[in-house]
Amino acid sequence: MAMGDRPEHKCGILGIYAPHEDVARLAFFGLYALQHRGQESAGIAVSDGRHIHLHKEMGLVAQVFNEEKLRPLKGHIAIGHTRYSTTGSSRLQNAQPFVVESALGPLAVGHNGNLTNASQLRRELLHRGVGLTSSSDSEVITQMLAGGEGRTWEEKLRVFMIRAEGAYCLTVLTRDTLYAVRDPWGLHPLCYGHLENGGWVVASESCALATIGATLERELAPGEIMAFDERGPRTIAHSPAPQRAMCLFEYIYFARPDSIIDGQTLHAARVAAGRELAREAPANADIVIPVPDSAVPAAIGYAQESGIPYQEGLIKNRYIGRTFIQPDDRLRKLGVQLKFNPLSDSLAGKRVVLVDDSIVRGNTSGPIVRLLRDAGAIEVHMRVSSPPIRHPCFLGVDMATYPELIAHRMTLPQIRDHLGVDSLAYLSLEGLIRATGSANKGFCHGCFTGRYPVDVHFLEKEAFEA
């Protein structure tokens, strides 16, 4: 898929407790490793034991921070955040971390996910006279912690988890402690590891730990609250839901291929999904090509299982999607050609299996197919390494609305004809779950089946905008 036809994640979070390190600099490089989880804004908050120092701006991590911006962020504990918005628009007021003063001292919070009862919790805060400066549910979380019941931060975090519904991974920074929180369903990943000098790192994905030289210890369990301070890491609460409900899109697309979930890399799970797809939906073809970059592992797996040679057929301009400069009308009409160029030598006269990881709106898959045909492909058989997406996500993924989802509007033959492919097949939900290697651990598959692990209701992305 290409621009405008990808599900987007909300954000990546990071936390570091390391008294003998430049934690702001470590946080910068850790956020760099999590840039794929959000490209709208970035921020770092640092505690020096008395005060919390903050810098956040709109833009990519490398645009927000430089030596001058990092220099004032002195301290021994840090949290960082890189954002894609699902609740609240893309503006500075919604950038994270959020920092407030409270009766227990300064507090900073970074949040990945989406609260399904945010409207109710927001109304309660406003009725109590709490002033809110943003339209983000993450500020609601921050104010709930700052002014909530409890004599200690540990008690406040426990009360918050009783009240909150939906998806949330949190890094919470106080004067002297880093806290990490994962919701009872374990909807999105959160892990921690140790630095060589005894410091500790918490991150959305293990790739961020590896980038800054930390060794992975384990993932936080669903419903777990951990504290990191001078006493080391410790679990202060563990209240899991009856059944885990890990987001399947972490396996399909969101998490970086080198990250580890449940003991295996995402690359291995995606290759396994490609093998499952080849078994379920074989094709008579000459070559297998991916839609780069995220579908590469699945295409490799499809080629391995089918015996059809793997080749590159599309070259991706990896930087066109990283600019904030909008194309003019003439360039906009080029569409996917801004992002992909076909390799005619590989495609001419060939029957092609085109592998993608998902189709959301379907507004770029058709143009990609036309690129292949214009380059000389005589047949195009599309294979998708996830099931049809028929329902929106309400738990931290900006997927699309019902009218926008092509698999909600159309049958499989209609989608095939709309895309202009000779055949079309999706991986079954059972095949996808087998590919994760964690079949008995429980997943959220609401976007495929309409069955969600918690009660959900539709909330416009900018519902809390003034």
Catalytic residues: 11
Give me 418's structure tokens: 């709309």
Element spanning 15, H or E: strand 11-17
Could you give the CA distance from residue 357 to residue 372 in angstroms, rounded to a whole number? 18
Could you give the CA distance from residue 77 to residue 148 in angstroms, rounded to a whole number? 23
* 378, burial (CB in 10 Å: exposed 0-12, middle 13-18, buried 19+): middle
* 278, burial (CB in 10 Å: exposed 0-12, middle 13-18, buried 19+): buried
Closest CA to 404 of 57, 2, 6, 86: 6
In contact, 13 and 192? CB cutoff 8 Å: no
Give me 414's structure tokens: 């209609």
Give me 313's structure tokens: 């057929």
Across the beta sheet with 224-229, the strand order is 98-102, 105-115, 166-173, 178-182, 224-229, 232-238
Across the beta sheet with 379-384, the strand order is 287-290, 351-356, 379-384, 423-426
Structure-token match 């503006």, residue found: 91
DSSP string, 201-215: EEESSHHHHHHTTPE
Give me 427's structure tokens: 């991986």
DSSP string, 260-299: EETTEEHHHHHHHHHHHHHHHS----SEEEE-TTTTHHHH
